[in-house]
Every structure is written in C-alpha cells, then in structure tokens.
Structure 1
Amino acid sequence: MKTKKLFTLLAVVIALSSCSSSQTGEKTSSAKVNTQNTQTTSEVKSVPPADMQVRSTFNSITTWNQGQQFLNVIGSTNDPKIDNKSWIAIYREKCGFDPGVHSATGAVCPQNALGGHVVMNGQSQRPAKNSLVYIVPICTSENNQPNLLMTIAANGTCAVVLNYWMK
C-alpha cells in the first residue's frame, strides 16, 4: 500500500513539474514543441511587420495653377495612411489650409472633400513604386471615377507630393 502511494505521489510531482516548466517558459524537448505547433499551410497567414509594410511617404508640397489637368491614381485604395491620419488631414497639415467642401476642381462637394491620390495628366494612373503622386482635395464623386480628367480651378492650389508606396 505504501509503495502505491509513493508511485502516485511521484506521478503527481512529475506532472506538476511538467506543467510548471511549460508555464514558466523553460525549454521542452523539440519533439514535444513540434507536435504541439504543427499547422497546415492553409492556416498560416503571412503578415509583414509594421515597419516592413509598403506605404507612401511624404516628399514635399508644390503648387498647381489653374488649368493643370489631373487624374485619379488607380490602385491607391490600400495605401496605408501616414501616422494613421486621413489623406485630407495630411493635406491640411502640410498645406496649412482646410478645403472644407471645396474640391480643387472648383466643385462644391455634398460632404467635406477628401484627399485624393492623383497624377498629372500624362503620367500613368498606375504609377510605379517610388513614383511621385499627389494629394489634392476632391469630392467623393470625383474620387470614384477612375478615368475622370479633372482640372485645377485656381492658381496657387497646394498639392502634397508623395513618394508612392515607398518602403
């Protein structure tokens, strides 16, 4: 009877020491780790670290004059925001001007203008990485028309220059 109690006590001590070592972060055998952490390829999602995400970066500001034609950038929807700020917030910060409901085209938007990724007429609407693109205030309706040729309404219109999707 005494032997049975000793074996039971020994089994409990061994079980507790196994739990204790895995909870405190001590290394366990690689065979045990591999069987517990096995995943199929379909379950694995590759997410780059935040500092490795591709995103546009601020370059400078410039001014466009009345008559400058421009188009929307196609494919900029997923461009991560700079410092988690909306594109119109970047425009307001860098240009020192809040366009409110006014588009750079002279249109009055039903809601506040947004900061649209655009290129000058003649540039590709699908710019290569590291190309220069611009942020100007445009209406949502203008932003939703990829092939709409727009024209700057006033001289001295500020445009934010971005290095497009630069690492």
Structure 2
Amino acid sequence: MEQLNQIGLQKADSKQIADKLNELLANYHLYYQNLRGFHWNIKGVHFFQLHAKFEELYNNALTKIDAIAERILTIGQKPLSSFTDYMRVSSIKEEAGLSGAEETVRATHQNLTTLIGLEREILTLASESDDEGTVGLISEDINENEKTLWMLNAFLS
C-alpha cells in the first residue's frame, strides 16, 4: 500500500494534520459567525469604528476558512462542511446577545487566542512532517492574528 499522498507527504501525517486543520476550520466558522453578530448588533460610541472592524475581520475569516478547507483537500483529506460538525468540534462557542464595545472586543480577543493556540499546534505537526505548504499557510495566519490581537489589546487597555 502506498504510504505517500498525491503531493508526496506521508498519508498518516497528513491525516493527523488534517484532523487539526478541521478543528481549526470549525473554530474559524464559529469565530466568523460571532463576528457577523457583533457587526450587526454593535451599539454605543464606538459603533462606526467597530462596525467596520468586525466587517473587516469577518471578511478576512471567510478567506481563511476557504484556504484551510482547500489545504485539507490538497493533503488528500476531507474538510468538515456542516454546522453540526463545526459545533461539535469547535472550542469557540456561539456568542449571542453581545452589543457593547468592550464585551464584543473581549470575546473576539478570546476567540483569536483560541485560534492562535490551535495554529501553533498545527505548525508543530506540519513542521515535524515536512509539510511546508501547511507551515506557510499557518505561519502567515499566526502573524496576522497576533497583530490583530495586539490591536484588540490596545483597544481594551
């Protein structure tokens, strides 16, 4: 039986990486949905600033969702594609009823912290498996998410 997938990576390693990527995918879907809700429901003196920022973040998350799913397919695995699976797998939970600046930014901060933690786990797995495609995808995302986290910290301080 062939041990390598269609791009020359070990199938067993790719399966393990895909499992973690699917966990990231599920978490990104909940992060995305939370951002949509914050965008729609934000109120207060920071409305204009946060309404635009949440839209920017959810549009960015949607692009990342697609990239993660396509990477899972590239390494020969199948991405999760139902909200039932996303809710089951995600450690990020739905946020309902939040409309204040501080509470929505704090929730976004926590969600990003969760995403970065998962990404660091994936980065380690991918590095150990010589999966440079996943390393590149995840490294770029960590850098961007860390910058966003820094900005959210600045807002909250």
Higher normalized helix content (fraction of residues): 2
TM-score, normalized by the shorter chain, greater than 0.5: no
> Which has the larger Rg?
1
User: TM-score under structure 2 normalisation?
Assistant: 0.24
Higher normalized strand content (fraction of residues): 1
